[in-house]
A = this chain, B = another copy of it.
Amino acid sequence: MKSDLDALMQARNLDALLVLGSAEHNPPMYYLTGGGHVSGATLIKKRGETPVLFCNDMERDEAAKSGLPTRSMSLYPFSELMKEAGGNQSLANALGTKKMLADLGVTKGRVGIYGHVELGSAFAALTQLQRIAPDLELVGEHGMDSVFIRAMETKEEAEVERIRRMGQITTEVVRLTAEFLTSCEVREDEVLLNEKGEPLKLGEVKDKIRLWVAERGAELPEGFIFAIGHDAGVPHSAGNPEDLMRLGQTIVYDIYPAEAGGGYFYDFTRTWSLGYATPEAEELYGQVKEIFDKLWENFDLNVSFKQYQRMTCEYFESKGHKSQLNFGSPTEGYVHSLGHGVGLNIHERPFSGLMTGDDHRLSPGVVVTSEPGLYYPERGMGFRIEDTFWVRPDGRMEMLADYPYDFVLPMKKWKKK
């Protein structure tokens, strides 16, 4: 939680945090400012103190909405910094940052560096800053273990409510997608037809999904996956817009919308086969569903997340599939990890990889996904089921959105002969 930041800074001996970039689509900045239309800011948080937001005069009203104390960048006129820097922009930026830090009393000690930004400029400026401020130690924290990711790991109830709301939007959109697909006419060769009687392309379905998400005021900042057949068998294939929608092929539909402006995400996957499924697909889907249910029954408070990844690998290997447990990095079978935290980042702590530490646990307050899957691109099929759940402060596990797990979706205007 946000209130953990000072203790985390203390534990890592960080005297200040320096966060760069815009307020939107920039999780650490969003976390402290609440987002808003602040396009380029510098935030400095000293340990034990309220963060201070340095912003452009043009964005002063937006910056003030953060509720944080703000200071105008015009106190550090770029023309004077450029003169002082002999025309070197990176040095000018470094001089400005050094002055901002000094004005808050940060002239020595360890300063953590954060923000989703253009790397070239930032790396150049930080290298200069380190040179002109040798008493400061600039600390790059690994993004998946930074004080922010640690603080964000445990959600406040208000954050969970926002994630839950995104879950409602997500499942509404998924329901509309299922209704649309199952209402289509079907051609002799099992290709779906669109409203104009033409073969329905996957890209058309994706366009509708984007629209349904936008209608609900959400965004798809990281895209989404809607893939059929071979592409469903490649976990991160987004799907080929030119593919035709057909009966009897597996469709992996993995959708992770976020609040507009770079807010909280939800993460969700279903696998469908329209009209009917092949016996092989039915069997593999049944295995994914079986381990999904078994995991749900077994998730327990404060157990390390990777134990469930191990359980999933063991289950799939017992069924004859490859997994990361004994096959390195397979490209067929169960090829990824079980889940991850979800919040302002689509992937955040805790993680479930077999090599993650024991401190990645189902602790009270985490919001995580469970997403076992099987992938056989050469056989033209793939499967994944994913829900997002909250480990409540009372230790109960709560799915944040409900949606049926039907694999075969019956077509309203088609029957198997």
Q: Give the B-binding residues of A (Cβ under 8 A).
A: 20-21, 24-25, 36-37, 39, 56-62, 74, 77-79, 82, 89-90, 112-127, 138-146, 207, 210-211, 213-215, 217, 219, 221-223, 225, 231, 234-238, 260-261, 328-329, 331, 335-336, 355
Q: Which of B21, B61, B355 contacts A231 (CB 8 A)?
A: B61
Complex A-B: 16 CB contacts under 8 Å: A24-B222, A37-B238, A58-B335, A61-B234, A77-B328, A116-B116, A119-B140, A120-B140, A120-B142, A121-B142, A122-B140, A123-B123, A123-B126, A123-B138, A124-B141, A124-B142
Indicate how many identical chains form the complex. 2
| Cα distance, A71 to B292, chains bound together (Å) | 33
Distance of A259 Cα from B141 Cα, bound (Å): 33
- With A61-B237, A120-B143 known, 6 other A-B pairs at CB within 8 A are A58-B234, A112-B120, A113-B119, A114-B118, A119-B119, A221-B221
> Within the assembled complex, what's the spacing in Å between the Cα atoms of A228 and B213?
27
Across the interface, name the chain B residue whose C-beta is closest to A126: B123
Residues of the B chain whose Cβ atoms lie less than 8 Å from the Cβ of A124:
139-142
- Give the residues in chain B near A116, CB-CB below 8 Å: 116-119
**A25-B221, A217-B207, A355-B79 known; A329-B140 Cβ under 8 A:** no
B114 adjacent to A119 (CB under 8 Å): yes
Quick check: B120 and A37 within 8 Å, CB to CB? no
- Do residues B120 and A114 form an inter-chain contact, with CB atoms below 8 A? yes
Closest to A148 in B: B120
> Are the C-beta atoms of B89 and A145 separated by less than 8 Å?
yes
Q: Is the CB of A211 within 8 A of B222?
A: no
Tell whether, in the assembled complex, residue B62 and residue A236 are in contact, meaning their CB atoms are under 8 Å apart: yes
